[in-house]
Amino acid sequence: MAFQHIEVKKIAGALGAEVFGVDLSKPLSNAEAEEVHQAYLDNLVVFFPGQSLSPEALIQVADMFGVPNEYPFAKGMYGYPKITPLVKNAEDKVNFGGGAFHSDTTYMEVPPVATMLYAVETPPVGGDTVFANMYMAYETLSEGMKALIDPLVGISSAGAGRVGDRKKLMNADSKGIQLQNLDKLSMEADQPVVRVHEETGKKALFVNFIHTLTFKGWTEAESAPVLHLLFEHLKRPEFTARYAWKPGTMGVWDNRASQHYAINDYQGHRREMWRVTVEAA
């Protein structure tokens, strides 16, 4: 698509782009909004550097991608419950969104279609996020593997993941994030192993290391080798892009066809991001 109102610069071959020419603190025209949405669908994750967004403006931007909702396990910003401040203080050891590649909250029956992050404070170096293209991850599987996994259903869990006891990990970083509802970490949901994207019609791999435990109707022992293969496959470098955040950058990624991993390499420095998850309109 040739864009008339925005400039789109890709950041990697697999996915990701920066978008210039729009001020997200102001309402966009219909034409601008349509082009932004198309850039997001085309690139799976898009970044808008140099923005100055109030909480109100961030919620208005979220409305372009769907309906903002509330994250179940952390309190929202005072007055703006649909914005979750993600703060890692200099003394904190555990970061939010780290541990492994994942799609957000697949333990919910209807996971968000998109996640937004707005960078408020970033470390002098580090704190990047790596993204992976799940269209490519699926398309590069053998025909035999596609035939095996196409009809399967994965069981996703909020708490019983592979990165350790989630309740302990979340409590370890509770100084900067106000946790809640930790008694609901037993939440589980069935998700298709291969998801057909509602807007593009393309197939994407939809299992992730943190939340997908087993295949429905399979034992854990039967599921483990196939899941291990898929987890290793989906993070191949040629499927990924890495992004270095700067204050004032707003990013949004398609949770239906990408995964992400927040790198925890900035010990001794503070990082603050505002997060909004968006469900389908």
Note whether residue 150 is domain-resident.
Answer: yes
Average pLDDT over residues 85-111: 89
Q: How confident is the model at residue 182 (pLDDT cuts 50, 70, 90)?
A: low
- Domain assignment present for 239: yes
What's the domain count of the chain?
1
Q: What is the pLDDT of residue 179?
A: 67
Confidence of residue 96 (pLDDT cuts 50, 70, 90): confident
Confidence class of residue 177 from pLDDT cuts 50, 70 and 90? Answer: low
- The CATH code of the domain that includes 140 is 3.60.130.10
**What pLDDT score does 134 carry?**
98
Long-range contacts of 37-40 (CB under 8 A, 24+ apart): 37/64, 37/65, 38/1, 38/3, 39/3, 39/6, 39/8, 40/65, 40/114, 40/252, 40/254
- Residue 108 located in a structural domain: yes
Q: How many C-beta atoms lie closer than 10 Å to residue 185's C-beta?
A: 18
- Candidates 78, 103, 75; CA nearest to 257 is 103
Q: Identify whether 2 is part of a domain.
A: no
Q: What pLDDT score does 176 carry?
A: 62
Quote the pLDDT of residue 1: 66
Residue 72 lies in a domain: yes
Contact 19, 47 (CB under 8 A): yes
Lowest mean pLDDT among 16-20, 132-136, 158-162: 158-162
What integer pLDDT is reported at residue 183 of this predicted model? 63
Q: Tell me, yes or no, whether 208 lies in a domain.
A: yes
Q: What is the pLDDT of residue 127?
A: 96
Q: Which of 253, 257, 276, 278 is nearest to 81 (CA)?
A: 276
pLDDT tens column, 48-80: 999 999 999 999 999 999 999 988 767 888 999
Instruction: Quote the pLDDT of residue 159.
Output: 77
Summarize the confidence of residues 9-24 as an average pLDDT: 98
Compute CA distances 32 → 7, 24, 27, 39, 252, whole Å.
Answer: 11, 11, 10, 11, 16
pLDDT tens for 108-130 read: 999 999 999 999 999 999 999 99
- Percent of the chain scoring above 90 in pLDDT: 81
Residue 1 lies inside a defined structural domain of this protein: no
Do the domain assignments include residue 14?
Answer: yes
Q: Dump pLDDT digits (tens) for 200-210.
A: 999 999 999 99
- Domain extent at residue 31: 7-279
Verdict on whether the full-model pTM lies above 0.85: yes
Helix (H, G, I), strand (E, B), or coil: what is residue 134? helix
